[in-house]
Amino acid sequence: MFVVLLLFWLGPVYSHSEPVQVIAYEGDRVTLPSRRNSTWNLDRIQWSIFSNITFIATLRRGELATDLFWSYTGRLTLNTTTGDLHVNDVKKTDATLYSVLLMDNGSQENHKVKLKVRDRLPVPNVNYTVSPIHEGHCKVNLRCGPRREKLAIRWNSTGPVTFPSLADNSSVLQAELKEHSTANFTCIITDEDRHESSTTQVSCKLKERHRDILAFFAFFLGLFVGLVYGGSRGSQVTEVRQDRVSTE
């Protein structure tokens, strides 16, 4: 213990005062780089927060500890070769200044990492309406959400579509889709570093499909009625018809 302490005080210190910045998203796994001197075999690693007061992960005399502070319990992995600290399932409260002390045979280095944590990007949801076919096309109105501060919304599409007006960063999109065709509209929510997208398929065949469904049901309804009445109670049907004819 005494020897270790003596070496700690007597060894040369290589300190880098500029913190490196790392950006992560909530829920991510992020790596805080130790920036060790690659010629070193680390015999001591100490990651801390709150200006060195609180150790969160350490390697000391071959003993690895990563559950030292309650708010990081079960979420830290320390690479004892590189000194890098991996934080799983990043939380907003992890955003702070980290400090790492590295030692090799009495020499020591100290580095800092500033972690910024961004909100997880929302998955876009898209609602749309399609007008009936008119003059060879349907009008499609799409709305994408959620709208968030600092996040931009972009659209992309494939298929026979045209856009009467196209605004940047707009949550609504108006498009014209050629009749009897299908298009895919993609809404992209982005903060310029990352994006989340959601694709919606829209058809300009609404009337036809309605007509088909109606015809389908009418056919089966007719078949059903025909079977029931035509089979067992054929004579009653004629009676009813005769009644109605006579009352009119």
Ligand X SMILES: *[C@@H]1O[C@H](CO)[C@@H](O)[C@H](O)[C@H]1NC(C)=O
Q: Which residues bind ligand X (CB under 6 A)?
A: 14-15, 37, 39-40, 51-52, 79, 81-82, 99, 101, 105-107, 110, 125, 127, 143-145, 149-150, 152, 154, 156, 158-159, 169, 182-184, 201
184/242 with CB nearer ligand X: 184
Task: Report CA dihedral (23, 27, 29, 33) to the nearest 10 degrees.
Answer: 30
Q: Which is nearer to ligand X, 106 or 229 (CB)?
A: 106
Name which of 25 and 152 has its Cβ closer to ligand X: 152
Closest CA to 95 of 47, 37, 26: 26
CB of 101 to ligand X, least distance (A): 5
Alpha helices for the chain (secondary structure H): 2-10, 206-231, 234-247
Angstrom CA distances, 142 to 113, 118, 181, 183, stand at: 43, 28, 17, 12
Q: Which is nearer to ligand X, 133 or 173 (CB)?
A: 173
Q: Which is nearer to ligand X, 51 or 165 (CB)?
A: 51
Exposure of 82 by Cβ count < 10 A (0-12 exposed, 13-18 middle, 19+ buried)? middle
Smallest separation (angstroms) from ligand X to the CB of 224: 35
- The rounded distance, in Å, linking the Cα atoms of 179 and 132 is 9
Q: Nearest distance from residue 50's CB to ligand X, in Å?
A: 8
| Residue 222 C-beta: closest distance to ligand X, Å | 35
Quick one: 192 or 248, whose CB is closer to ligand X?
192
Nearest distance from residue 183's CB to ligand X, in Å?
5
Looking at beta carbons, which residue is closest to ligand X?
A: 145
Q: How far apart (Å, rounded) are the C-alpha atoms in residues 105 and 98?
A: 23
Alpha carbons within 13 A on the beta-carbon side of 180: 2
Cα distances from 108 to residues 7, 66, 96, 130, in angstroms, run 10, 21, 23, 67
For the CB of residue 45, give the shortest distance to ligand X in the complex, in Å: 12
